[in-house]
Amino acid sequence: MNNLPLVTVIIPAYNYADYISTTLDSVFAQTYRPIEVIVVDDGSTDNSAEIVHGYPEVQYFYQSNQGVSVARNVAIAAAQGEFMAFLDADDIWKPDKLSVQITYMLENPHMRITGTKARNFLDSETQLPFWLKDNPNWEEDTAIIPSTLVVHKSVFNQIGGFSPDYRASEDTEWLWRANEVKVPMFKINEIMTLRRFHGSNLSWLMAGTHKSRVLKIIKDSIARKSTQAR
């Protein structure tokens, strides 16, 4: 696999010491090379830093707790890759995940954003919350979730990074902006990511305010279109 583009893997982390080694192991098990790996520690108070420092290939950044959007944006600014792949610190990639997506994007160079299907699973001794489906191993069929995203670096020059105004649903807001300006994107119909639910997920903790965030995303979009029309 010579002369392939560098992929920067971006992992925001906040108090996920129980999971991040499994996450990083899945990154370094990728069949794709070359990669660089950036972990941005968003003010963890556990031993996340110690664990990450056990991986000498990883670039580690620490910041006071400012949210996942700021953490990702720090990594985007430092990234050297032509493509950026996002992974949450509690999720897991299948070994050929990057190979599948980068191959597709090189064969379809107009495609600037890709995602894949994901399979959700419950961590051990975690009870299924009422707002999730009855089957904890359900597949993510509709949305492109952050841990499946691979993005060409040019997209961030075009639409900017993740909005710090959103402590959750920041990925939905970013993809909404990309869609507004018709950035080509595609979801590959293969399960390449395993998303872990354990009760401390941001999406879990903030599930009750999801609808209000979606309404804000829509209102912000309408405001942008109104400004552009003037």
Tell me whether residue 1 is in a domain.
Answer: no
Q: What is the pTM of this model?
A: 0.86
Question: Any bridge partners for residue 10, and if so which?
Answer: 38, 86
Q: Are 98 and 150 in contact (CB under 8 A)?
A: yes
Tell me whether residue 129 is in a domain.
Answer: yes
**How far apart are the C-alpha atoms of 45 and 215, rounded to whole Å?**
33
Taking only the tens place, the pLDDT of each residue in 82-125 is: 999 999 999 999 999 999 999 999 999 999 999 999 998 887 77
Tell me whether residue 2 is in a domain.
Answer: no
Here the tokens at position 45 are: 């108070």
Residue entry with tokens 């098990």: 29
Tell me whether residue 183 is in a domain.
Answer: yes
Kindly state the average pLDDT of the residues 150-160: 97
Here the tokens at position 139 are: 């597949």
Q: According to the model, what pLDDT value does residue 118 have?
A: 93
Check which CATH number belongs to the domain holding 225 and give it.
3.90.550.10
| Region for 11 from its dihedrals, namely left if φ exceeds 0, alpha if ψ lies in -120 to 50, beta otherwise | beta
| Region for 15 from its dihedrals, namely left if φ exceeds 0, alpha if ψ lies in -120 to 50, beta otherwise | left
Tell me whether residue 92 is in a domain.
Answer: yes
Kindly state the average pLDDT of the residues 24-32: 98
Domain ranges, residue 167: 7-229
Output phi, psi for 13, to 5 deg. -140, 135
Tell me whether residue 174 is in a domain.
Answer: yes
Q: How many domains does the chain have?
A: 1
**How far apart are the C-alpha atoms of 21 and 114, rounded to whole Å?**
25
Q: Are 167 and 90 in contact (CB under 8 A)?
A: no
